[in-house]
């Protein structure tokens, strides 16, 4: 593949399973190259569930503009891959026209596949995709996301889900499809049950948290399978980066940051530089 393709502008894609570090890498790369970020996570497009959806906090955006992040106000609204493609194509054009580099980041690979492969959106005719995949060892990532669910609990996961809970709500559409919402249903129903003991309610909460962890690990497997299919079956030129050693460093922030720069940021930046 010729990287310096005439008249084609580069769009960077930061891919990977949930918890692999896409947000941090995309922001750091965008800050370095003069990029702007387009969210491609199907839950993060909705307003709300900042903790459960693991939305990047304002302070960590480093001043980099983000698009399609929390812009859908109606929690019941259906937001399809096609909706994403129309909006993302428009934003990509605006970012490029302003002299910046679009950086697409998020875990919804069905959105990315539709954007790149659907001839209606003419991506392959107009753009050159630089695909970077953060691929963490499954055991390490599973442990990491399980701990992250516990952190979310401390950060207000229950209160957040309670805010959109209703006994008649539909968990198959809108923001309520998010892992963590359907799993909390039994516990939230039991909260107001006067006939149930605190111990029974606590057991329901613990069961919900275990289910969230199990379903998140299932999501990770699905995301990785999808990325492999895009690479192996559809021939996407995906560059694999392995952040596993970074996630294995415990407690030493300085060592972790140094390892991240050396093993994740620098190799990713070097790959992207060849396209730019």
Which pair of structure tokens corresponds to residue 19?
């918890």
User: 273 pLDDT exceeds 50?
Assistant: yes
The residue behind tokens 């969230």 is: 212
Interval 88-141: pLDDT, tens: 999 999 999 999 999 999 999 999 999 999 999 999 999 999 999 999 999 999
User: 146 pLDDT exceeds 60?
Assistant: yes
Interval 148-169: pLDDT, tens: 999 999 999 999 999 999 889 9
Instruction: Based on DSSP, count helices (H) and strands (E) in the chain, helices before strands.
Output: 11, 6
User: 4 pLDDT exceeds 60?
Assistant: no
Residue 47 sits at the vertex; the CA angle it makes with 44 and 53, to the nearest 5 degrees, is 35
Task: Give residue 5's pLDDT.
Answer: 47
Looking at every residue in the chain, the average pLDDT score rounds to: 96
Q: What is the CA radius of gyration of the chain?
A: 20
Q: Is the pTM of this model over 0.75?
A: yes
Which pair of structure tokens corresponds to residue 136?
């963490």
User: How many other CB atoms are there within 10 angstroms of residue 271's CB atom?
Assistant: 16
- 265 versus 192: the higher-pLDDT residue is 265
Which residue segments constitute the domains of the chain, with CATH numbers given?
9-137+224-275 (3.40.50.300), 141-215 (1.10.287.890)
| DSSP state, residue 155 | T
Average pLDDT over residues 39-49: 97
Task: Give residue 6's pLDDT.
Answer: 53
Using CA atoms, how far residue 78 sits from 68, 69, 74, 175, 227, in Å, is 14, 15, 9, 9, 24
User: 203 pLDDT exceeds 50?
Assistant: yes
Interval 212-265: pLDDT, tens: 999 999 999 999 999 999 999 999 999 999 999 999 999 999 999 999 999 999
Pairing of strands 238-241, 127-134: parallel
Task: Give residue 167's pLDDT.
Answer: 86
Measured distance CA(15)–CA(193) in Å, rounded = 43
Average pLDDT over residues 25-37: 98
Task: Give residue 185's pLDDT.
Answer: 96
User: How many other CB atoms are there within 10 angstroms of residue 34's CB atom?
Assistant: 12
Average pLDDT over residues 204-212: 97
Helix, strand, coil shares of the chain, percent, nearest 5, are 55, 10, 35
User: 3 pLDDT exceeds 90?
Assistant: no
Interval 46-59: pLDDT, tens: 999 999 999 999 99
- Confidence tier at 2 by pLDDT (50, 70, 90): very low
Closest CA relative to residue 52, chosen from 170, 148, 140: 148
User: 76 pLDDT exceeds 60?
Assistant: yes
Average pLDDT over residues 1-22: 83
- Residues 32/121, Cβ–Cβ less than 8 Å: no
Task: Give residue 192's pLDDT.
Answer: 84
């Amino acid at each position: 593949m010729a990287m310096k393709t005439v008249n084609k502008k580069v769009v960077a894609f930061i891919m990977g399973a949930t918890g692999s570090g896409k947000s941090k890498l995309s922001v750091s790369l965008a800050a370095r190259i003069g990029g702007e970020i387009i969210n491609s996570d199907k839950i993060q497009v909705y307003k709300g569930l900042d903790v459960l959806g693991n939305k990047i906090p304002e302070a960590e955006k480093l001043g980099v503009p983000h698009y399609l992040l929390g812009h859908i106000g109606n929690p019941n609204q259906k937001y399809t891959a096609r909706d994403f493609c129309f909006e993302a194509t428009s934003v990509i054009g605006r970012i490029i026209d302003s002299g910046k580099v679009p950086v697409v980041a998020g875990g919804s690979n069905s959105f990315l596949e539709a954007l790149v492969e659907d001839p209606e959106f003419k991506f392959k005719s107009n753009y050159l995709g630089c695909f970077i995949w953060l691929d963490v060892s499954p055991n390490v990532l599973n442990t990491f996301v399980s701990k992250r669910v516990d952190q979310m609990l401390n950060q207000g996961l229950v209160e957040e889900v309670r805010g959109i809970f209703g006994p008649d709500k539909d968990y198959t559409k809108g923001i309520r499809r998010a892992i963590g919402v359907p799993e909390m249903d039994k516990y939230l129903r039991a909260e107001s049950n006067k006939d149930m003991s605190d111990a029974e309610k606590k057991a329901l909460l613990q069961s919900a948290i275990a289910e969230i962890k199990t379903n998140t690990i299932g999501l990770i497997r699905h995301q990785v399978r999808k990325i492999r299919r895009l690479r192996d079956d559809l021939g996407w030129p995906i560059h694999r980066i392995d952040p596993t050693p970074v996630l294995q460093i415990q407690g030493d922030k300085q060592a972790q940051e140094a390892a991240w720069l050396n093993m994740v940021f620098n190799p990713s930046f070097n790959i992207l530089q060849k396209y730019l």
